[in-house]
Amino acid sequence: MSDERFGADYYARFYGRSPVHNQRSIGELASGVLGMAAWWKMPIRSVLDVGAGKGYWGKWLAGHRPEVRYHGIDVSEHACRRYGHEQADLATWRPSRQYDLVVCQSVLQYLDGGDAKAAIAALGAAARGLLMLEVPTDGDRQSNIDSSSTDLDVHWRTAGWYRKRLAGHFRQIGGGLWIAADHPAVWFELEVPER
């Protein structure tokens, strides 16, 4: 995927006056995700932030969980230069290590089918524990998307398309959280989506 699309103009448009996510909302999400991980007795010592953008996860961790090792990657040269991430395209990038938590928000919809499959495999290779995944689906486009603040020039796919490909690497546990397929954690039947 070319990084040209995700330059300063993209950030001004989608992270400007009324962004879908801001530092506060990502802080609330990070607090919730790490809180649930603690509840499940899954220590989070390392976080990989894919499509790290403005680095909100890293900022929150630095202020609230400074002992957690954070690594952000992004395809955007602009974001990497400005916010200090590793420049990498998830479709071709392969992790050199695994992470307790992998965060992937608003990335997969920008990739064509083959690249999205490769990216999901990279997420599977990177995640030792949890994956926090956010990707808008075709169903979301019909009823959940704020078109005034969301980039609609993406690959729209069904939730089933994503679930089928994620199932080779993860088990869905709800609320955007997935767990590595080989992780030994156990949940009560009503704690996870119906299988």
pLDDT in tens, 77-91: 998 999 999 999 999
pLDDT in tens, 17-69: 655 678 899 999 999 999 999 999 999 999 999 999 999 999 999 999 999 99
Task: List the domain boundaries for the chain.
Answer: 4-191
Q: What is the mean pLDDT of residues 109-117?
A: 95
What span, in angstroms and rounded, lies between the C-alpha atoms of 62 and 70?
9
- Look up the CATH number of domain 4-191: 3.40.50.150
Confidence of residue 140 (pLDDT cuts 50, 70, 90): confident
| DSSP E strand stretches across 22-176 | 46-50, 69-74, 86-87, 99-105, 127-134, 170-174
Predicted pLDDT at 64:
98
Proportion of the chain above pLDDT 90, given as a percent: 71
What span, in angstroms and rounded, lies between the C-alpha atoms of 183 and 193?
17
pTM of the model: 0.89
Q: What is the mean pLDDT of residues 124-128?
A: 98
Q: Which two tokens stand for residue 29?
A: 């999400």
Contact 150, 142 (CB under 8 A): no
